[in-house]
Structure 1
Amino acid sequence: MQDISHRLRKLLGLLNSSLSSFSEAELAYTPAPGQWSKKEILGHLIDSAANNHRRFVLSQLEPEPLVITPYDQDQWVALSRYQQTPAAELLQLWTLYNRQIVRLLENLPPGATAYRCEFDNGYSVTLRWLAEDYVMHMEHHVHQILNLASA
């Protein structure tokens, strides 16, 4: 999991060093109806951290396979009112939450990365796959926030 942790730390550093180059207005700008602003994308990443943190913990506590329940991403973003939250607060929450996830992933017990997790459609993956998918999702959205080409 060291490779995944390294990628998470790199993303934390990248967004923390770059987000301040945007004004609050730029971060709140909604490009089109039904699309998220940069602040809302960051909020979505907070929601993703919350849901995945729960999955990473429960995969170690519950009998295999952990059944992964989906969540309504648009409603989470809307109800959390990220658009009205100062970007600095969103960045701090996202950063601290992901530092905790890094600690959790780096301290998994031996063999935990092979624990089975199953989506509601029956698709089965390992905890390692879930962590890898989490980082890939984050890479996509961090690059989207910073207007960089996706990795």
Structure 2
Amino acid sequence: MMNRPTSDEYAAYYGKYIALVPDGSLPEWLSRQLEETAMMLSGLTNEQEIFRYAPGKWSVKEVLGHLIDTERIMSYRLLRIARGDETPLAGYEDEAYVLQGSFDSRPMSALLEEFRAVRGSTLALINGVPEEAWTRRGLANNSELSARALAYIIAGHELHHRKLLSERYHL
């Protein structure tokens, strides 16, 4: 079983995400999390899907698009670092990605299908990483982090946004 990353394996910013992840099997948690998030976002009305809790904030569909994009990027980073690639990896501007994603014009069912596909890919990657690779470190967005920190960041990032969806979007 993969152990929780220590605080020296990631930039302090990511600590808020990692702290949200419960103890136990991370792959099992990621699978359950997928179903819980999909259930939360299924069956919404069009008005709920495009709801923004304040001007300039993302819609529910944009939050899901952000989760999809971020998980893709973080799992790509995880792959590169776990495989021992020492090439520094660029950061990304999440606001620009959401703006260019046109998520509000897509059906929620398509976004949920994409989310399932991305999470399935992430789970396959995590389940195939050799034990010795989890503590490998690399540079992403000018910060050092380990492969296992990235796995926990993926889970915690979703939990962070699901909490916001519950509290601010009333889902």
When normalised by structure 2's length, the TM-score is: 0.77
Which residue of the partner structure matches residue 145 of structure 1? 165
* Number of residue pairs matched by the alignment: 146
Aligned to 2:80: 58
Which letter does structure 2 place at the counterpart of 1:133?
I
**How far apart, CA to CA, are the structure 2 residues paired with 1:4 and 1:67?**
26
* Identical-residue share of aligned pairs (%): 25
Q: Which amino acid aligns with 1:86?
A: P
The answer to whether the 8 A contact 1:11-1:142 is kept is: no
Q: Would you say the 8 A contact 1:30–1:37 is kept in 2?
A: yes
The reply to whether residue 97 of structure 1 matches residue 118 of structure 2 is: yes
> SS at 2:120's partner residue?
helix
CA distance in 2, matches of 1:102, 1:81: 26
Distance in 1, matches of 2:85 and 2:68, equals: 27
Residues 38 and 112, structure 2, Cα contact 8 Å, conserved in 1: yes
Listed as ranges, the gaps of 5+ residues in structure 1 are: none
- Does 2:37 correspond to 1:15? yes
Moved over 6 A (4+): none
Q: What residue in structure 1 maps to residue 139 of structure 2?
A: 118
Residues 18-27 or 99-108, more deviating? 18-27
Q: What letter matches 1:34 in structure 2? A: G
In structure 2, what is the equivalent of residue 135 of structure 1? 155
Instruction: Describe the superposition over 1:75-124 as per-residue Cα deviations: whole angstroms up to 9, x where unpaired.
Output: 11111100111111111101111011011101102311011022444x32
1:132 maps to a residue whose letter is Y
| Corresponding residue for residue 34 of structure 1 | 56
Q: Which runs of 5+ in 2 are unaligned?
A: 3-23
> Within 2, Cα distance between the matches of 1:52 and 1:129?
10
The TM-score with structure 1 as length reference comes to 0.86
Are 2:66 and 1:44 aligned? yes
Which secondary structure state, in structure 1, belongs to the residue aligned with residue 139 of structure 2? strand
Indicate the residue corresponding to 2:100 in structure 1: 79
The 2-side partners of 1:24 and 1:143 are apart by 21
Out of 34-43 and 112-121, give the one that drifted further: 112-121
TM-fit CA distance, 1:131: 1.1
Highest relative contact order (Cα 8 Å, sep 6+), 1 or 2? 2
132-141 or 16-25: bigger deviation:
16-25
